[in-house]
């Protein structure tokens, strides 16, 4: 059975503004504008109810052709992850597709995402912090749906 998770959209595809969800304010807050020529080539958000190694909710790359509305919740299937590490530590990017997007029915595992699209995702994370003082990103490899699902399941906060 596939893992479907609630993802809060923080950043709309095409944006240069980096927003993060504030639990205190119950709103999106502008974290910063990207410093270089990069822009988000995908919708981006967080998997609700999780806690990653960096102390924040797990990051989600929402792979779809459509622009999604920031602050909305989209139920997504987990298809893989991209290993990354930044100045705060491990910071995996979970690759998801909207469960109710018929255009994405074919995407079951990371290998179903085209090589060109995977290259663009990887390139974005290799470059989007290059011009920011005190920040860096080390980008590793893509991992399968199985690896991604195990990480997501182990990251859910239990009360």
Predicted pLDDT of residue 159: 66
Structure confidence at residue 49 as a pLDDT band (50, 70, 90): very high
- Residue 20 belongs to a domain with what CATH number? 3.90.80.10
Model pLDDT for residues 73-95, shown as the tens digit of each residue: 999 999 999 999 998 889 999 99
Q: What is the pLDDT of residue 1?
A: 76
- What is the mean pLDDT of the segment spanning 106-111? 98
* Alpha-carbon gap, residue 152 to 145, rounded angstroms: 10
Q: What is the mean pLDDT of residues 40-68?
A: 95
Write out the H or E segment, with its range, that includes residue 150. Answer: helix 145-155
Rounded distance between C-alpha atoms, residue 3 and residue 148, angstroms: 10
**Domain of 17, in residue numbers:** 4-155
Query: What single DSSP character describes residue 65?
Result: S
Which are the contacts of 150, defined by CB distance < 8 A and separation ≥ 6? none
Specify the pairing of strand 89-90 against strand 17-22: unpaired
Task: Report the pLDDT averaged over residues 135-143.
Answer: 96
pLDDT, mean over the chain = 96
Report the alpha-carbon distance of residue 105 to residue 150 in Å, rounded.
Answer: 21
How much of the chain, in percent, has pLDDT values that exceed 70? 99
Q: In the 8-state DSSP scheme, what is residue 52?
A: -
pTM above 0.85, yes or no: yes
Partners of 75 in the β-ladder: 6
Using DSSP, state whether 68 is helix, strand or coil. coil
Count of structural domains, the chain: 1
- Position 130 pLDDT exceeds 80: yes
| Beta strand extents in 57-155 (DSSP E only) | 59-62, 73-86, 89-90, 93-98, 137-143
φ, ψ of residue 129 to 5 degrees: the values are -110, 5
Residue environment code for 11-21, b if the CB has 16+ CB neighbours within 10 A, otherwise e: bbbebebbbeb
């Amino acid at each position: 059975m596939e893992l479907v998770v609630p993802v809060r959209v923080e950043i709309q595809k095409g944006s240069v503004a980096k927003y993060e969800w504030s639990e205190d304010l119950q709103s999106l807050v502008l974290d910063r504008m990207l410093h270089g020529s990069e822009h988000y080539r995908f919708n981006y958000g967080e998997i609700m109810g999780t806690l990653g190694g960096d102390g924040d909710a797990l990051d989600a790359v929402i792979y779809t052709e459509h622009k999604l509305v920031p602050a909305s919740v989209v139920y997504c299937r987990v298809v893989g992850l991209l290993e990354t590490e930044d100045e705060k530590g491990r910071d995996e990017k979970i690759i998801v597709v909207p469960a109710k997007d018929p255009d994405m029915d074919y995407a079951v595992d990371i290998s179903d995402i085209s090589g060109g699209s995977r290259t663009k995702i990887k390139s974005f994370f290799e470059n989007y912090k290059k011009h920011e003082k005190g920040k860096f990103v080390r980008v590793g490899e893509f991992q399968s749906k199985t690896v991604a699902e195990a990480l997501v399941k182990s990251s859910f906060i239990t009360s």
